[in-house]
């Protein structure tokens, strides 16, 4: 570079009298500047064709996906999810503290002698007296129909989560006809008093929803240790016929809360939510700090599946009191 000019560079005016064929000699097509626009044009047309084909393929794939989705969801026969104007599943809290959610029905004189499809005459509202942050309770879902259900469980109101997920929502997959499932819920914050709702909604029929309202309030005797799923605890129990109040049994035994095949489902899940102080019943001198509560068990989580059992159709009422809990609990 010298004086701002390249060596060998000859400047020409745009208005040159040099013949075009000299100033602009013919250039082979492969090097012609017009070859680039032509190639670009060809490539652009090809790209458009590819894009159109891709769009058609994506559109067809999306339509196929939506058709499959619609077929999956659309296969649900809504009529099979209803009986007597109600959805065919029910939700309760095991504590014997429940009543009509909207005061639109009265408690039956005899639970075992009800004529009908359902365990309860309608939706429930239950009280939960807790003994501190981390306390737990058992929620039961009963499929009273013959169709397998997929349900979305959700807690609204705050402060309560499903223990299995750690979230205020949970999905129940493949709950078979006339089957039941019990879930643990727990407090994840301090609550002095609060109203929460637990809903069970069909995954593909969103208007198909059953609701349980729960009034949560703080008990007068707070405890350090809350019996949780899979905790091994010693309990004293008393068992009654819920309709006649006849005492059927009493004793003391060890049970694994929520996970003990030695007992009926309702009994093992009744241990959930008991509380005891940090000495766990093993201090000296021995101080009785264990709490108690009463649970109500419909036949599906009692002896309903025990063909020929004398208590097969009986609603049971248990009072449980925790005596001891190992150091691994809570």
Q: How far apart, in whole angstroms, are the C-alpha atoms of residue 189 and residue 3?
A: 81
Residue count of the chain: 330
Does residue 170 fall inside a structural domain?
A: yes
Rounded mean pLDDT, 205-225 = 95
Q: Has residue 287 got a pLDDT over 50? A: yes
Enclosing domain of residue 231: 223-330
According to the model, what pLDDT value does residue 16 have? 35
Share of the chain above pLDDT 90, in %: 69
Whether 210 and 278 map to the same domain: the answer is: no
According to the model, what pLDDT value does residue 21 have? 47
288 pLDDT band (50/70/90 cuts)?
confident
Find the angle CA(303)-CA(92)-CA(259) to the nearest 5 degrees.
55
Torsions phi, psi for 61 (to 5 deg): -65, -45
Q: What contacts 24+ positions apart, CB below 8 Å, involve 115-119?
A: 116/84, 117/83, 117/84, 117/88, 117/144, 118/83, 118/84, 118/86, 118/90, 118/144, 119/90, 119/92, 119/144, 119/298, 119/300
Rounded mean pLDDT, 70-85 = 75
303 pLDDT band (50/70/90 cuts)?
very high
Identify the CA nearest to 271 among candidates 217, 318, 216. Answer: 318
CATH of the domain at 93: 2.60.40.10
64 pLDDT band (50/70/90 cuts)?
low
Whether 274 and 232 map to the same domain: the answer is: yes
DSSP character at residue 2: B
Rounded mean pLDDT, 87-92 = 98
Whether 49 and 122 map to the same domain: the answer is: no
Q: Has residue 18 got a pLDDT over 50? A: no
Q: Has residue 2 got a pLDDT over 70? A: no
According to the model, what pLDDT value does residue 271 have? 98
CATH of the domain at 283: 3.10.50.40
According to the model, what pLDDT value does residue 283 have? 54
Does residue 22 fall inside a structural domain?
A: no
pTM for the model: 0.76
Does residue 113 fall inside a structural domain?
A: yes
According to the model, what pLDDT value does residue 61 have? 52
When the pLDDT of each residue in the chain is averaged and rounded to a whole number, the result is 83
Per the structure block, which two tokens stand in for 322? 């925790």
Contact 235, 219 (CB under 8 A): no
Does residue 23 fall inside a structural domain?
A: no
Q: How far apart, in whole angstroms, are the C-alpha atoms of residue 314 and residue 172?
A: 27
According to the model, what pLDDT value does residue 139 have? 98
According to the model, what pLDDT value does residue 115 have? 87
76 pLDDT band (50/70/90 cuts)?
confident
Domain count, the chain: 3
Does residue 9 fall inside a structural domain?
A: no
More confident call, 52 vs 164: 164
pLDDT digits (tens, 9 = 90+) for 110-135: 999 998 889 999 999 999 999 999 99
Q: How far apart, in whole angstroms, are the C-alpha atoms of residue 135 and residue 92?
A: 18
Whether 134 and 206 map to the same domain: the answer is: yes
According to the model, what pLDDT value does residue 103 have? 95
Q: How far apart, in whole angstroms, are the C-alpha atoms of residue 103 and residue 158?
A: 24
Name the domain boundary from 74, 106, 126: 74
Q: Per DSSP, what are the bridge partners of residue 276? A: 225
Does residue 25 fall inside a structural domain?
A: no
According to the model, what pLDDT value does residue 92 have? 98
Rounded mean pLDDT, 30-47 = 46
More confident call, 47 vs 250: 250
According to the model, what pLDDT value does residue 211 have? 98
Name the domain boundary from 185, 220, 255: 220
Whether 107 and 151 map to the same domain: the answer is: yes
Whether 128 and 252 map to the same domain: the answer is: no
Whether 171 and 209 map to the same domain: the answer is: yes
Identify the CA nearest to 294 among candidates 324, 316, 261. Answer: 316
Does residue 10 fall inside a structural domain?
A: no
According to the model, what pLDDT value does residue 93 have? 98
According to the model, what pLDDT value does residue 221 have? 81
Q: Has residue 330 got a pLDDT over 60? A: no
Whether 303 and 214 map to the same domain: the answer is: no
Does residue 15 fall inside a structural domain?
A: no
According to the model, what pLDDT value does residue 49 have? 52
Whether 232 and 244 map to the same domain: the answer is: yes
Rounded mean pLDDT, 170-184 = 97
Q: Has residue 62 got a pLDDT over 90? A: no
Identify the CA nearest to 319 among candidates 281, 284, 275, 267. Answer: 267
């Amino acid at each position: 570079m010298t004086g701002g000019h390249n060596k060998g560079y000859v400047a020409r005016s745009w208005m040159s009298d040099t013949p075009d064929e000299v100033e602009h000699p013919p250039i082979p097509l492969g090097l012609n500047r017009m070859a680039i626009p032509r190639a670009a044009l060809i490539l652009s047309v090809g790209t458009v064709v590819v894009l159109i084909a891709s769009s058609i393929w994506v559109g067809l794939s999306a339509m196929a996906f939506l058709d499959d989705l619609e077929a999956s969801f659309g296969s649900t026969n809504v009529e099979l999810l209803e009986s007597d104007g109600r959805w065919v599943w029910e939700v309760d809290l095991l504590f014997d503290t429940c009543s009509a959610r909207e005061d639109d029905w009265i408690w039956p004189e005899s639970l075992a002698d009800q004529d009908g499809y359902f365990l309860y005459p309608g939706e429930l509202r239950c009280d939960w007296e807790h003994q501190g942050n981390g306390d737990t309770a058992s929620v039961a879902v009963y499929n009273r129909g013959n169709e397998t259900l997929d349900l979305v469980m959700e807690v609204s109101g705050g402060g309560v989560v499903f223990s299995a997920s750690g979230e205020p929502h949970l999905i129940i997959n493949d709950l078979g006809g006339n089957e039941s499932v019990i879930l643990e819920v727990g407090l994840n914050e301090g609550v002095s008093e609060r109203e929460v709702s637990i809903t069970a909604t069909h995954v593909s029929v969103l208007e198909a929803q059953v609701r349980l309202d729960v009034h949560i309030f703080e008990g007068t005797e707070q405890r350090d240790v809350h019996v949780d799923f899979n905790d091994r605890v010693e309990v004293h129990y008393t068992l009654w016929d819920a309709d006649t109040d006849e005492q059927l049994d009493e004793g003391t035994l060890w049970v694994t809360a929520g996970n003990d095949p030695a007992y009926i489902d309702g009994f093992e899940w009744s241990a959930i939510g008991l509380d005891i102080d940090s000495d766990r019943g093993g201090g000296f001198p021995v101080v009785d700090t264990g709490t108690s509560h009463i649970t109500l068990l419909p036949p599906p989580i009692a002896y309903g599946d025990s063909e020929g059992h004398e208590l097969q159709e009986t609603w049971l009422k248990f009072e449980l009191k925790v005596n001891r809990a190992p150091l691994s609990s809570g």
